[in-house]
Structure 1
Amino acid sequence: MKKSITQLLWINIAIASFAVSASEISDKFSPYDANSNIEILYDDLDAVLKSSVLAVGHSTRATAKDFKASIGTRMKVRVNKLTALEGNRFFYEQFQDDDNQKLLEDIQQSLESVPSEVSLSKLNRDEQLAYWLNLYNLTVLIELIDMYPIKKIEDEFEDDETIFSKKILNVEGMSLSLNDIENEILFKNYDANPVIIYGMYQGNVGGPNIRKSAFTSNNVYDNLKSNASDFINSNRGTYSEGKSTFRVSSLYERKEMYFPEFQSDLTAHLSKYIHGTMSNYLKAGPTLKPNINDWKITDLYKSQKSRGMSTAANSAALMDSIGRTSGGAGMPGTGSPNLGLAAEVFADRGVTYGRFSPEQIEILQKVDQLRLENAGEVTITDIKSEDTETQTEEN
């Protein structure tokens, strides 16, 4: 069916509007200060991740056994045997509690408000990268918690209206989606560096790991490379049993903009991190086939009910593996994560400059004072701390 001239006109207007919007996002968040030493604090997010993420360790490339139905039932749990034993897990079950869910939302709002304290343009590139990845991952968690208990999230990667495409964030007065953060900020500001994809948690077992700590400017690239190595050297990332075809995660197909010449660029990228037997298969120059998938949400047990099995899907086994915590929300014997610590950390934050150290606050306040006195813009890097000034005078 042919479209009318009017329909085509409106389609072109819509495309142009989207392009302008995308350009505005890129332009707004591209400036940075290479000399800035301002650091954002993430101790509240750290507390949540440390208490709520179960790290499974490096992949052994073992495959899961074919689970049998237990006595008294004909039902059994279906799993992806290739990847079922891999990938860090998040304690989604605990966040069905309204107070715990609100804790995450409060942290998210606090991160969104960072630019009201210090413009992102005053930060260096590494600091900006850590900020965007933390905001991205926290938002994915919040959106999936809102949908939980959901077993598989495949639709969120295929439908037009997904948690990744919705304009659900507001940073410096601009509405953003998760796709905006990736495509218009991270992809463009970091030279399409494929290591970035391993820092964006997708919520499924077949995606990059959620880490037990927040990204910071000091650890961001080390942690991205660690995630890349973990993923590539796991069954979730690469797998081959022969020489002609080399299976890789469908993640790489969804992120193909990072690999313009898909076969050669992805092969070169994988070669930087892969080791062991799979490295030998890759060196043989096989065709890469992006067909490894595991859409199961990275929860602990609720989406996959125990049927009497003593496996990683068994709730009791998982509760033992995450460990018992004490204090706050995690009293001994409860099996709940210690979210009380995160709540206390968040509550202790001041309204003004809440995510910056006392030393940085002093500098920021001096900057504000100079700005008022001079009625002009003064960059943070123009101001030295008193300690730095004293050392300079002594030298």
Structure 2
Amino acid sequence: MNTVLPRASSLVRTILSAIVLLAGAPLAMAKSTSISHAPWGALLETYVEPGADGVNRVDYAALKANQADRDALDTYIAQYADLDFDALTRDEQFAAWANLYNAVTVRYIVEEYPLSTIKPWYSRGPWKKIKVIADGEEISLDGIEHGVLRQQWADDPRLHYAINCASYGCPNLRVEPWQAETLNADLDEAARDYINHPRGVSVLKNGLRVSSIYDWFEADFGGSEEAVIAHLLSYAGPALAEKIRANPDIRDHDYDWSLNDTSK
């Protein structure tokens, strides 16, 4: 009896110690290997309004007033927290990152609304401070654009037509989410839409005024003015292409930071 009890007590202590250790250990979270962009698509269809002037605007006021849809936006964004990006194809990864960037931007504007711009003249913008959890890690909008998209898709300048900074001067926020199945064709369409709109290219008497995107990210478009012109010609319609070839000199850059709001 006296010899059994110590052994039993020792065994109990060992079991209890193991339980305590297990209770204190972080649990491995199962990651999701896919994501549906349908909820984001439903919100885009409801709140993005294509204009006769070729600019898509967002009804931020209506979304702010609809708590159910704001909750749906939060739920969609929350799915990214445990999404395993490594389990996605390359096109699925691009679509997911671009959709996340745009969804988080819309949420930020709605939270801050009413406002006239995402970037006041005295500000460097909120992109470093706007953060979200994706694939188990915190990342900012700045990180998505410059640390992910511009790094992993450095050979494809069309990435700049995929993300929307809630501004008039930016490429349109599409009325549909990015999808892997149609990604290449949709990126081409987005490039054509922007380049053939005055926000992208305007013809002056002595040359061209182009979006500041082609100045800020000239390296992504080939690293020279000649490379930028070649990119523009790849997507310009016949009439615009003829004018670009007639005077292929970039004389000015322009960007309108006004909010892409339906009330504007």
Return the TM-score normalized by structure 1: 0.55
Instruction: Provide the aligned C-alpha RMSD in A.
Output: 2.0
Q: Answer whether contact 1:140 1:163 (CA < 8 A) is retained.
A: no
**Aligned with 1:240: secondary structure?**
strand
Quickly say closer, same or farther: Cα 1:167–1:49, change in 2 above 3 A.
closer
Q: Which of the numbers 246, 253, 258 marks the counterpart of 1:291?
A: 253
* Structure 2 partner of 1:181: 144
**Aligned with 2:199: secondary structure?**
coil
Q: Answer whether contact 1:86 1:236 (CA < 8 A) is retained.
A: no
Give the partner amino acid of 1:274: A
Runs (4+) off by over 6 Å: none
Matched, 1:103 2:72: yes
Structure 2: distance between partners of 1:296 and 1:55? 16
Q: Answer whether contact 1:49 1:213 (CA < 8 A) is retained.
A: yes
Structure 2: distance between partners of 1:290 and 1:259? 17
Structure 1: distance between partners of 2:106 and 2:223? 32
Render the CA deviation track for 1:303-331: whole Å, top value 9, x for unaligned. Answer: x4xxxxxxxxxxxxxxxxxxxxxxxxxxx
Quickly say closer, same or farther: Cα 1:284–1:265, change in 2 above 3 A.
same
* Structure 2 partner of 1:90: 58
Q: Which of the numbers 197, 202, 226 marks the counterpart of 1:239?
A: 202
Q: Answer whether contact 1:166 1:177 (CA < 8 A) is retained.
A: yes
Structure 2: distance between partners of 1:181 and 1:54? 26
Matched, 1:143 2:108: yes
**Aligned with 1:218: secondary structure?**
helix
Query: What is the CA distance between 1:167 and its match in structure 2?
Result: 5.1
Matched, 1:282 2:264: no
Identity of aligned residues (%): 25
Query: What is the CA distance between 1:90 and its match in structure 2?
Result: 1.0
**Aligned with 1:219: secondary structure?**
helix
Structure 2: distance between partners of 1:235 and 1:97? 33
* Structure 1 partner of 2:123: 159
* Structure 2 partner of 1:134: 99
Q: Answer whether contact 1:50 1:212 (CA < 8 A) is retained.
A: yes
Q: Answer whether contact 2:161 2:191 (CA < 8 A) is retained.
A: yes
Structure whose residues are more often strand by fraction = 2
Matched, 1:273 2:238: no
Give the partner amino acid of 1:135: L
Q: Which of the numbers 41, 49, 52 marks the counterpart of 2:47?
A: 52
Runs of at least 5 residues in structure 2 that lack an aligned partner in the other structure: 1-32
Structure 2: distance between partners of 1:166 and 1:257? 25
Give the partner amino acid of 1:275: G
Query: What is the CA distance between 1:290 and its match in structure 2?
Result: 4.3
* Structure 1 partner of 2:214: 252
Query: What is the CA distance between 1:257 and its match in structure 2?
Result: 3.3
Runs of at least 5 residues in structure 1 that lack an aligned partner in the other structure: 1-37, 58-84, 305-395
Give the partner amino acid of 1:250: S
Quickly say closer, same or farther: Cα 1:39–1:109, change in 2 above 3 A.
closer
Structure whose residues are more often helix by fraction = 2
* Structure 2 partner of 1:42: 37
Q: Answer whether contact 2:81 2:136 (CA < 8 A) is retained.
A: no
Give the partner amino acid of 1:255: F
Structure 2: distance between partners of 1:170 and 1:193? 25
**Aligned with 1:248: secondary structure?**
strand
Number of aligned residues: 231
Give the partner amino acid of 2:149: L
Query: What is the CA distance between 1:98 and its match in structure 2?
Result: 5.9
Structure possessing the higher radius of gyration over alpha carbons: 2
Return the TM-score normalized by structure 2: 0.80
* Structure 2 partner of 1:219: 182
Query: What is the CA distance between 1:103 and its match in structure 2?
Result: 2.5
Q: Answer whether contact 1:253 1:290 (CA < 8 A) is retained.
A: no
